[in-house]
Structure 1
Amino acid sequence: MKSWLNRAAVPLGLAAFVALLAQVPLLRNPNFYFTDDSAAQFLPMWHRLGEQLLAGNWPPLLDNDSWMGGNLAAEALFGVWNPVNLANYLLVAGLDDLALSAAVVKTEFLVLLALGVYLLCREYGAARWASAALAAALPFGGFTLYFQASTWVAGLMAFAWVPYVWWSARRSARGELYPLWPFIFGALCVTNGNPYGVLGVCAVLFGLLVEFWLRKDKPALRRVLLVGLCVAAVVPLVFLPLLGASAVGLRTGKELFNIGQLVPSLTDLLNLSLPSHLPGIRAFDPSAYRMTVPATYFAWFVLPLLAWLDFGVLKRRWRELAAVFTVAAGYLLLSLGPSNLWMFRWPLRHVESLFLALAVLTAVLLTAGLRTDRLRERVLATGGILLLSGYLAFSAWPKISARHLLSLALLAGLTALVVLAARSGGRWTGRLSAAVLCGGTAVVLVLQTGWQPANADVAAYRFPASTAQLHEQFAKRYRGTTVQIADRGLPGPNGENRDVLFGNMYAAAGVGTPTAYTGMGFKPLHKALCLTFYGGTCRKAYPALFQPTESGASLADLLRVETVVVQRSLFTTPEHKPAPVPGAKVEPDPLAGLPEPAYPPVVYPGWRVEESNDAVTVLRRVRSLDWPQGRLSQVSGGVRVISDEQRGQRTELVRFTRSEQSGGKAELTFARLNWPGYTATVNDQPVAVRNGPGGTVVVELPAGTRSGELRLHWDPPGYQIGIGSALAGLLAALALCVVRFRSRRRTAGDGRFGAFR
């Protein structure tokens, strides 16, 4: 028991330390973890997903009220097959404050990442103190903290599992761990739905193949390959829906070009230890020529200690460290690559994986001990490294020279303390060194979050964080499906987020809207209402909503819209048309023939003005909609609907009759988007499903059918294949465990867990 406690003391202390450091950014910016995509996309949808789970809707693959953003299986980034994610969604649904929810969940994954790095460094023979120092530093690297943790949380959630995959796969290959563990960690990474996580799994497994091939360890090589195949079997479950929906999506994922966006240079990557360095990387503001955050910062001690490290250990252990070298080299090339490479945009996203490999190498070097001979030469070399770092930072932005000088003084002082600890010798050397390394990480974090309390390179939405406030402010005013004719960033006299919301915030407010955030889009509805990915529209979306379609009904009727919110400034401010993206196909404007609308908006028959102020005009449908229990919006051909019932999000049942005298087509239109995967039966006989106006679902009744039941159901493309493939991967991993267990029993006399070969 005492031995176990001794082993657990460092990881537990590390977890507490990282959890404490994760709160430092909140001291200056309470919404640090609730910004950009975290605010517009993830947190409000997590809240909606938690509500769906509490309502018994599992797995939550579809959210009809989010329309273009509601194909949760195809959006992938929500990780609806990941049990850890689902547990967190339940937690978010139980908390009123979305900013607090973001801080809790992101702290959890920063701690998970740190523990994974610690285990990985220990696996490569690094000492506890050195492993803990690197594990505490990596989660607070510039990109991980300011981009992954602050905004792009799906990347953080996937990246956090990569060290566990690496650690468990290597231990399993060496016979020290059952193969079920790398399968579990690999599945947790893959089911997060982030392609960069899948790339990370592939990279570390490939690196291990290289390592054991160089070591001529065929059994280990075979084990890595088999485990990799088991993990690969989970991929179809997550990504087949994305591929299946690509036919109607806006993002094809086939781009290959370079516009320099979020592409770091080699000098940016070399200056990875100076806290004040702001790299000259092009972000999203076309007028900016440098970033506002230290996106390429890794750890304060890596460069200053270079002159004191014994690099001979890398030469002596190069075969054991071959996987680390392979991963580092691969991610270095990716970090310097083109801005768009298939589905992998923005090479800056690869930097943290490069730093993961560097963390392992640094931990191994620190464990070998600092060399304190030839003291004068080493001091001069360290001074030269610091001066070069300072010059590069000064060149990037001379205006903040005071910060650069403070950073250089801090690094010089901390480096001196580490060297003094190493020269002291004795049993406390490692602990003293760890205290200085981790203490320096904390000091740097305080400085950086004081200098840059928020990531100004991404969108600052400033949404209300309280779901109770959102319900009070919007759900009571905007009832039923609500279409918002508005654009983000336009001025409003009533302040931000009082009358309009963007992204998925209406999901947190309990309002269904076609103007939701989407990572992939839906072409027919996008063209019909000129929707943007964050939920904005153009002016002509207003008349387009009420124009008769080819079915005779308007889109407002076919979508079962009950409320329309029209933003005044959209009509009184010159319309902004974004510049075309280089390399992207330019589509013609589908609303070009519509007249330019005016403000106040024309009130169409069947609608009335419910509310009007200096910011918006709110219109409400006069008559209640038919079939309130389902999503049926129009019938033709003499069909009389007896009942329409929605069962969950994916299934709808309609009981109907049709008069003997009626002729022609009998069609039923549903206020659902016709995502690939819909099937329909009439009296248990399959019938076709086609696109209606705006991409709505249309089902034609078979000729001669006079009564019966129509069942409409949606499964993501590849649904059964994906489930079967994932189960096959799990069974294969269990089978490998059985084989390993039997092999272990046969060699039990050796008294060693990993004796079997």
Structure 2
Amino acid sequence: MAAFGLGSAAALVSFLPTAAMLKVGNHGGGIYNNGFLVPGLGDLFFSANPVHASRIMAFNGYTEIRQSIFYAAWFVFPIIIFTNWKIIRILPVRVVSISIFSVLLFMLTQGPEQLGPIRYSIRFIPYFHIFSIIIFLYFWSHFPVKSLSHNRFKVLLGIVVFTTLLSLQQFPHMPRAIIWSGVILAAASYAFAYKRLTPVLWYSLTLGIAIFARLSGGPANPTTAEWWAYVNNLHADNLSLIPKDYSICLISNPTFSTDSKRFEDVWFGNMGLAHGIAGVNGYSPIGQQALVRNFFPIVHGWTFPNAGQTGLSRDPLTGLTIFDLMRVSTVVAAAGSDAERFASDKSPEWQLIKQTKYASKFTHKLPNQSLPGSLSWPLSGYTVTEPQKATATKEILQFGSIGPDVHDLIFARTYWLGYKATFNGISIPVTPYNGYLISVKLPDNAKSGTLELTFHIPFLKISIFAAFLSMLTTCLLLVWRKIWRFSGEEPVYHIQK
């Protein structure tokens, strides 16, 4: 129970902020399994030469993948060989419990592909391996062999030789790398088996072999995005600063063309970052409910067929279009039905500035483009300046005068829990507008003053404190071993002879 409590406290930093998003968030549910990113059993018990690839169903079908999470068996197999299994007669209940939990995690690695909001069973692999390694380390530390026989070492060496031959069979054009990997692993196995290493050498050798195995496995997977594309655009991308206007890509069918060159004109997912585009549609594992209902049905940022009509519709309160309130000045519509629909629905102020084989690009002048920061409405009735550039987490506006008809302000920001606003130091309400924009209500007697809009991740400070307290307590328990002593006998599970 103590371990469960400490572990739960340490995990709060990843759980509480995410849980706070669920009130306005949208994370696809359902139970189904198409085999996507479901690892094979051979990968879960992977023990081959590091220069070895697996196969897994990914975005482009079955593809080669090399993941460090598949190398956990290299810790398990030596432990199996260095443990004296014949003398094991009793096991603490906690070891049995961890074993059962490890089996459950193993089952989760095999699907379903999506279970409610939990997506992709491949994510359970590290946890299954961690618990498995903990169990085998317990056996090794409590039931080690007194002296390693030559037969046991031959078994370990045989595993190295056999898996090296498997890798040579898979990659006959890479004999040098594979053979050298096998030699280094064999030498490390010999050092572990017969040399009395100091703890420093033991840990250094273990860490060195782990790093070597990962590096020799290859720098990246084919299913990983071309990360250098982002580096080339870092000078153009600053996700902290708020842009003056945005673009949106209307793409309801991403397979409208099979030519990869189409992505030079259209985008979804994280492609906008690679192009240096301030786009409103991108990859979002937890979508905003109202945006999902109106524009983006799936996490990759594809749009509804009528997303353009929704953006062009007039808001009854402000008189502006939804795109104007979102400060969307540019629309890129994928060739075909998306481009045809937007061209027929748009007003004359939207001008076609570029047309290619894959997309049509439209732009218009925003009625609120002169407003500072992310302020979107009202357009008049006050004087305002921006003392500093608005960022993703903070925006300050100084109002010189506020007319009697100005009560609410609308900002072109996505509404999430965690936004707070003050006017002259006094807290004022922050509410969603249309479900996805930020609305701030000014005090009734507001004439002039300073508005400060900030965003703080909910429960972040308290969860960080809980994680710190958990780690501190764990360290103290490890230092003062007397605290671990049980009053009475520890429950055990007897193994029948």
Displacement of 1:560 in angstroms is 1.9
Give the match for residue 205 of structure 1: 3
Following the alignment from structure 2 to structure 1, what is the Cα–Cα distance between the partners of residues 140 and 284? 45
Deviations 1:595-649 (A, max 9, x none): x83586776333434444555444333366354323232238xx61221547653
Matches within 5 A, 1:3-82: none
Higher strand share: 2
**Change over 3 Å in CA distance of 1:315–1:403 after alignment to 2:** farther
1:633 is paired with a residue whose SS is strand
Higher helix share: 1
**Change over 3 Å in CA distance of 1:619–1:729 after alignment to 2:** closer
Give the match for residue 23 of structure 2: 247
1:485 aligns with 2:250: yes
- Paired residues of 1:274 and 1:407 also in contact (CA < 8 A): no
2:301 is paired with a residue whose SS is coil
Unaligned runs of 5+ in 2: 238-242, 484-497
> What letter corresponds to residue 19 of structure 2 in structure 1?
L
Following the alignment from structure 1 to structure 2, what is the Cα–Cα distance between the partners of residues 717 and 692? 20
Give the match for residue 355 of structure 1: 129
1:713 aligns with 2:478: no
Give the match for residue 71 of structure 2: 298
Give the match for residue 581 of structure 1: none
2:413 is paired with a residue whose SS is strand
**Change over 3 Å in CA distance of 1:693–1:522 after alignment to 2:** same
Following the alignment from structure 2 to structure 1, what is the Cα–Cα distance between the partners of residues 216 and 11? 42
Following the alignment from structure 1 to structure 2, what is the Cα–Cα distance between the partners of residues 240 and 679? 18
Following the alignment from structure 2 to structure 1, what is the Cα–Cα distance between the partners of residues 402 and 201? 82
Give the match for residue 167 of structure 1: none
Following the alignment from structure 1 to structure 2, what is the Cα–Cα distance between the partners of residues 429 and 735? 28
1:620 aligns with 2:363: yes
Give the match for residue 411 of structure 2: 670
- Paired residues of 2:79 and 2:137 also in contact (CA < 8 A): no
Paired residue for 1:723, among 453, 461, 479? 461
TM-score under structure 2 length normalisation: 0.67
Displacement of 1:336 in angstroms is 1.9
- Paired residues of 1:634 and 1:670 also in contact (CA < 8 A): yes
> What letter corresponds to residue 335 of structure 1 in structure 2?
F
> What letter corresponds to residue 291 of structure 2 in structure 1?
L
Give the match for residue 311 of structure 1: 84
Q: Please say which of residues 479-488 and 549-558 is displaced more in the overlay.
A: 479-488
> What letter corresponds to residue 691 of structure 1 in structure 2?
P
1:605 aligns with 2:345: no
1:270 aligns with 2:45: yes
Following the alignment from structure 2 to structure 1, what is the Cα–Cα distance between the partners of residues 390 and 181? 62
- Paired residues of 1:689 and 1:697 also in contact (CA < 8 A): yes
1:463 is paired with a residue whose SS is helix
- Paired residues of 2:373 and 2:395 also in contact (CA < 8 A): no
> What letter corresponds to residue 320 of structure 2 in structure 1?
A
- Paired residues of 2:415 and 2:432 also in contact (CA < 8 A): yes
Following the alignment from structure 1 to structure 2, what is the Cα–Cα distance between the partners of residues 679 and 432? 53
Give the match for residue 657 of structure 1: 402
**Change over 3 Å in CA distance of 1:489–1:714 after alignment to 2:** farther
Following the alignment from structure 2 to structure 1, what is the Cα–Cα distance between the partners of residues 244 and 446? 35
Following the alignment from structure 2 to structure 1, what is the Cα–Cα distance between the partners of residues 79 and 122? 24
**Change over 3 Å in CA distance of 1:716–1:685 after alignment to 2:** closer
Following the alignment from structure 1 to structure 2, what is the Cα–Cα distance between the partners of residues 680 and 642? 19
- Paired residues of 1:335 and 1:349 also in contact (CA < 8 A): no
**Change over 3 Å in CA distance of 1:522–1:710 after alignment to 2:** farther
1:597 is paired with a residue whose SS is helix
2:126 is paired with a residue whose SS is helix
- Paired residues of 2:229 and 2:274 also in contact (CA < 8 A): no
> What letter corresponds to residue 249 of structure 2 in structure 1?
Q
Give the match for residue 546 of structure 1: 312
- Paired residues of 2:78 and 2:156 also in contact (CA < 8 A): no
Give the match for residue 455 of structure 1: 221
Following the alignment from structure 1 to structure 2, what is the Cα–Cα distance between the partners of residues 736 and 304? 29
> What letter corresponds to residue 713 of structure 1 in structure 2?
L
Give the match for residue 493 of structure 2: none
- Paired residues of 1:292 and 1:455 also in contact (CA < 8 A): yes
Displacement of 1:530 in angstroms is 3.0
Paired residue for 1:467, among 233, 247, 255? 233
CA RMSD of aligned residues (A): 5.7
1:297 is paired with a residue whose SS is helix
> What letter corresponds to residue 461 of structure 2 in structure 1?
I
Displacement of 1:250 in angstroms is 1.4
Deviations 1:462-505 (A, max 9, x none): 7353136756xxxxxx9732223347666598947644554456
Give the match for residue 135 of structure 1: none
- Paired residues of 1:492 and 1:615 also in contact (CA < 8 A): no
Deviations 1:159-216 (A, max 9, x none): xxxxxxxxxxxxxxxxxxxxxxxxxxxxxxxxxxxxxxxxxxx9x934xxxxxxxxxx
Unaligned runs of 5+ in 1: 1-201, 207-224, 472-477, 576-595, 742-752
- Paired residues of 1:263 and 1:335 also in contact (CA < 8 A): no
> What letter corresponds to residue 48 of structure 2 in structure 1?
S
Displacement of 1:518 in angstroms is 1.9
Paired residue for 1:633, among 376, 384, 393? 376
1:642 is paired with a residue whose SS is strand
Following the alignment from structure 1 to structure 2, what is the Cα–Cα distance between the partners of residues 624 and 724? 42
Following the alignment from structure 1 to structure 2, what is the Cα–Cα distance between the partners of residues 717 and 441? 36
Following the alignment from structure 2 to structure 1, what is the Cα–Cα distance between the partners of residues 72 and 20? 42
Following the alignment from structure 2 to structure 1, what is the Cα–Cα distance between the partners of residues 466 and 217? 47
> What letter corresponds to residue 269 of structure 1 in structure 2?
L
1:557 aligns with 2:324: yes
Percent of matched pairs sharing the same residue: 19
> What letter corresponds to residue 631 of structure 1 in structure 2?
S
Give the match for residue 294 of structure 2: 528
**Change over 3 Å in CA distance of 1:354–1:496 after alignment to 2:** same
Displacement of 1:345 in angstroms is 3.5
Deviations 1:22-69 (A, max 9, x none): xxxxxxxxxxxxxxxxxxxxxxxxxxxxxxxxxxxxxxxxxxxxxxxx
- Paired residues of 2:32 and 2:115 also in contact (CA < 8 A): yes
**Change over 3 Å in CA distance of 1:524–1:302 after alignment to 2:** closer
Displacement of 1:371 in angstroms is 5.4
Deviations 1:66-107 (A, max 9, x none): xxxxxxxxxxxxxxxxxxxxxxxxxxxxxxxxxxxxxxxxxx
Following the alignment from structure 1 to structure 2, what is the Cα–Cα distance between the partners of residues 666 and 233? 44
- Paired residues of 1:653 and 1:710 also in contact (CA < 8 A): yes
Following the alignment from structure 1 to structure 2, what is the Cα–Cα distance between the partners of residues 305 and 488? 48
Give the match for residue 495 of structure 2: none
Paired residue for 2:335, among 568, 571, 575? 571
Following the alignment from structure 2 to structure 1, what is the Cα–Cα distance between the partners of residues 210 and 14? 37
Displacement of 1:251 in angstroms is 1.0
Give the match for residue 693 of structure 1: 434
**Change over 3 Å in CA distance of 1:644–1:493 after alignment to 2:** farther
Deviations 1:530-554 (A, max 9, x none): 3643334355333432222333311
Q: Report how many aligned residue pairs link the two structures.
A: 467
> What letter corresponds to residue 550 of structure 1 in structure 2?
P
**Change over 3 Å in CA distance of 1:755–1:550 after alignment to 2:** closer
Displacement of 1:334 in angstroms is 0.8
